Amino acid sequence: MTEAILRLEKVEYQGPDLIEIRFDYMESPGDPGIIRDKTDLPLIVTNRRWDQGGQSRMNEPDRTTLILDAVEAGFNYADLELNTPDLKDLGSRVKTLGGILVISHHDFKDTPSLEELRETMRYMAKSGADVSKIIGTAQRPRDNLTYLSLFRQPRECGLTCFGMGRDGILSRILSPLAGGEFTYASSHAGEESAPGQLTLAEMREIYTIMGV
């Protein structure tokens, strides 16, 4: 927990719009309220399942209880994976506690078709998502068009969508400009949580050059 607080202070100094707290990276997560009290910035609580690229080895009741505890402590967003058991019930509890529900899915092998992305987005909305987070793995530069095209489709909730990997960097950068709720960046080089992730400083420099 101490290391997480030190990281939070370093990240906050860079001026992000919001911060994701990865509890699955912590050996002893502790009380989420301690982190909440250290910043006024919006926070996303994530305790990522192992089968979705995370490091949490908790059993499901403990893993999701930590997420709910964080929302109760004042975290603004809660990330729940699409394959989370009892997703609708947990999502309802997140909203009752005043949180914004992000339902996420990561494909670490390839880029789904636009129709597959569309169906996943619809299913997330029906499951109660305030924000659908759909992330794939870009295998070629053209895959960026598939992710960005999803923003042109009718949708019932907010959307975050881009491709991981070197070939997906363009969609990471452009997704917020296409209508995405937010994108992700690492605080420093070498601390990336996913392939192809740029640092916050690099993202800011790119947006400045683009005039946005």
- Write the DSSP symbol of residue 166: G
Of 116, 118, 190, 193, give the one whose Cα is nearest residue 153.
Answer: 118
Domain ranges of the chain: 2-184
From 10, 106, 109, 126, active-site residue: 106
> What integer pLDDT is reported at residue 5 of this predicted model?
81
- Residue with the two structure tokens 């800011």: 204
From 10, 38, 126, 133, active-site residue: 133
Check: CB of residue 48 under 8 Å from CB of residue 11. Answer: no
> What integer pLDDT is reported at residue 97 of this predicted model?
98
pLDDT digits (tens, 9 = 90+) for 174-205: 999 999 999 999 988 887 888 999 999 999 99
> What integer pLDDT is reported at residue 30 of this predicted model?
86
Q: What angle do CA 158, 56, 100 make, to 5 degrees?
A: 25
Q: What is the DSSP string of 84-150?
A: -TTHHHHHHHHHHTTPEEEEEEE-SS-PPPHHHHHHHHHHHHHTT-SEEEEEEE-SSTTHHHHHHHG
Q: Give the residue with greater pLDDT, 78 vs 187.
A: 78
Distance CA 190, CA 41 (A): 24
6 pLDDT band (50/70/90 cuts)?
confident
49 pLDDT band (50/70/90 cuts)?
very high
- Exposure b/e, 38-55, CB count within 10 A at least 16 = b: eeeebbbbbbbbeebbbe
Task: Output the six-digit token pair for 78.
Answer: 């809660």
1 pLDDT band (50/70/90 cuts)?
low
Looking at the domain that runs over 2-184, which CATH code has it been given? 3.20.20.70
Average pLDDT over residues 140-160: 98
| 132 burial type by CB count under 10 A (0-12 exposed, 13-18 middle, 19+ buried) | buried
Q: Give the residue with greater pLDDT, 58 vs 150.
A: 150
Distance CA 146, CA 171 (A): 9
Distance CA 212, CA 204 (A): 9
10 part of the active site: no
- Write the DSSP symbol of residue 49: B
106 part of the active site: yes
pTM, rounded to two decimals:
0.94
Average pLDDT over residues 90-114: 98
